[in-house]
Amino acid sequence: MEEEDKPLGVIGYALAPKKQNSFIRKSLLSLAKSRGIELVRVDSAKPLADQGPFDCVLHKLYGEDWKRQLQDFHARFPRAAILDAPDAIERLHNRISMLQVVSELKIDDRVESFGIPKQIVIYDKATLLDPQAWDSLKFPVIAKPLVADGSAKSHKMALVFTRDALNKLKPPIVLQEFVNHGGVIFKVYVVGDHVRCVKRKSLPDVSEEDKSVVSEDLMSFSQVSNMAPHDAVNRYYELMHLDDTEMPPYAFVVDIARGLRRALRLNLFNFDVIRDARFGNRYLIIDINYFPGYAKMPGYEAVLTQFFCDVIFNKQEKQEQQQQQESQQQQESENGKINDESL
C-alpha cells in the first residue's frame, strides 16, 4: 500500500445484522474515508484478536463469549480503544441500575429540575400480589421487564390501570408510575461530546376520566417511538403534538448528557426524557439505551465521523505523550548512570 493511501485510523465494528444494516451506510463509509478513517467489519465468528489491527473497536454485541473476545483483544492490543467498556454497557441492561445513575447527577443554577418517575422492582409473583409492595405507587403504572438486553421481550411493556390487573404480569419487572407528558418524548442522542435532542411520539396522556372508563385494565405495547409512520395513531401525533411541543432548553439537556456520560463512562448512548405535565419545568428520565439508532439523526454521518477522528486523534496524542515520557525517563536514567560512573 502506498504511504498516502494508508488510513489515519482503522475502526473495527461488531454489530448485530439489523444494527449493521441501519448504521453502516455507504454515506458514512465514504465520509469517514474522506477523513482518513476506515471502517472494517469484525467477523464475530472468528477471534477478534486475530483480526485487524484496529485502532478502535466499536461494538454492540452481548454475551460472555463476546466479553472474553474483547478481553483477549485488549490484552493483545492494550492501546486500542474499545467503545464502550462492556461493564459500563452492562449497567444499562437492568432498568434499575440504568436509572440509579440519575440520582448521582448534580446540576446547579437551573430553573429546570430533573429526576426519574417513582418505581419499584418486583422479582417474584408472591411480591407482585402483596399489596404492601406497591402500596405507595399511584395507578396507572407502566410495567417494564427488569432486563433491558435488546431482546424483543425486553421492550414489551404494559400500561396497567388497576391493581387487579397486576396478576397478569410476569416478574421480574419494574413498576413505574405513568406520568402525563403531552404525548411527546425527547430523545437525547450522545456521541462523545456531541449532544442532539429530537422529539418523538409517546404514549398519550391519561385523564382522570379515562381511568374510570377504560375497557381494558391493562394495555400492552412495544417501542412506541418506533411505530410505523403509516399508522393512523401515528399521524394523529405528528399533527397534534410534535410540531407544537416546545423543546427542553438545550443547555439543560447538554448538562444532563455530560453528567450521564461521565457517570456512566459511556460515549455512545441516548436517553428518553419526558416533561411532567403537572409542572412546566420538571423533566423525568425514563430510559437509557446503548448505541441507539443514530442513523435516524439527520446528518449522523458527520457527527460520527468527527467522533471517530477525535477518538483516533486522542489516542495518537496519548501515545505520543507516553513515548515522550518514556524517552525522557530513559534519558534521565542514562544521565544518572553517567553521573554515577563519573563519581
**Residues of the shown chain interacting with Mg ion in the complex, contacts defined by CB under 5 A:** 272, 287, 289
Instruction: Check the annotation: does 183 bind a ligand.
Output: yes
Our CB check for Mg ion shows the closer of 142 and 303 to be: 142
Return the one option of ligand ATP, ligand 4MY, Mg ion, none that residue 179 interacts with (CB less than 5 to 8 A, by type): ligand ATP
Provide the H-helix boundaries in 157-229: 208-213
SS3 at position 46: coil
Site string for ligand ATP, 191-210 (x = CB under 6 A): -----------xx-------
Amino acid at 197: C
Distance CA 71, CA 177 (A): 39
Least distance between ligand 4MY and beta carbon 260 (Å) = 15
DSSP symbol at 329: H
- What stretch of H or E contains 177? strand 173-177
- Measured from the CB of residue 333, what is the shortest distance to ligand ATP in angstroms? 54
Question: DSSP 3-state assignment of 282?
Answer: strand
In angstroms, the CA 178 to CA 263 distance is 26
Q: Is 215 annotated as a binding residue?
A: no
* Site membership for ligand ATP, residue 117 (CB under 6 A): yes
Residue 315 marked in a binding site: no
Minimum distance between the CB of residue 185 and ligand ATP, rounded to whole angstroms?
A: 5
- With respect to Mg ion, which residue has the nearer C-beta, 151 or 328? 151
> 69 touches which of ligand 4MY, ligand ATP, Mg ion, none (CB within 5 to 8 A by kind)?
none
Q: Are strands 218-222 and 156-160 parallel, antiparallel or unpaired?
A: antiparallel
Q: Is residue 58 near ligand ATP by the rule CB under 6 A?
A: no
- Count of residues in the chain: 343
For the record, the C-alpha cell of 119 comes out as 418505581
The SS3 of residue 242 is helix
Closest distance to ligand ATP from the beta carbon of 288 (Å):
9
Residue 185 labeled ligand binder: yes
- 178 labeled part of a ligand binding site: yes
Q: Is 59 annotated as contributing to ligand binding?
A: no
Residue 19, annotated as binding a ligand: yes
Q: Which does 293 bind (CB under 5 to 8 A by kind): Mg ion, ligand 4MY, ligand ATP, none?
A: ligand 4MY
Residue 180 marked ligand-binding: yes
Per rule CB under 6 A, is residue 84 in the interface with ligand ATP?
no
Least spacing, CB of residue 331 vs ligand ATP, in Å: 53
3-state secondary structure of 58: strand
* Distance set, CA 196 to CA 83, 99, 124, 173, 247 (Å): 19, 20, 39, 30, 11
State the minimum distance, in angstroms, from the CB of residue 268 to Mg ion.
Answer: 14
Q: What is the residue-wise DSSP string for 73-116?
A: HHHH-TTSEEES-HHHHHGGGBHHHHHHHHHH----S-S-EEE-
**Residue 192 and residue 266: Cα distance in Å, rounded?**
8
Nearer of residues 15 and 32 to Mg ion, judged by Cβ: 15
CB of 143 to Mg ion, least distance (A): 14
**Residue in 287, 288, 289 with CA at minimum distance from that of residue 179:** 287
The binding site consists of: 19, 60, 95, 144, 155, 176-187, 202, 272, 287, 289, 293
- Contact residues toward ligand ATP (CB under 6 A) are 117, 142, 144, 148, 155, 157, 176-179, 181, 185, 202-203, 223-225, 272, 274, 286-287, 289
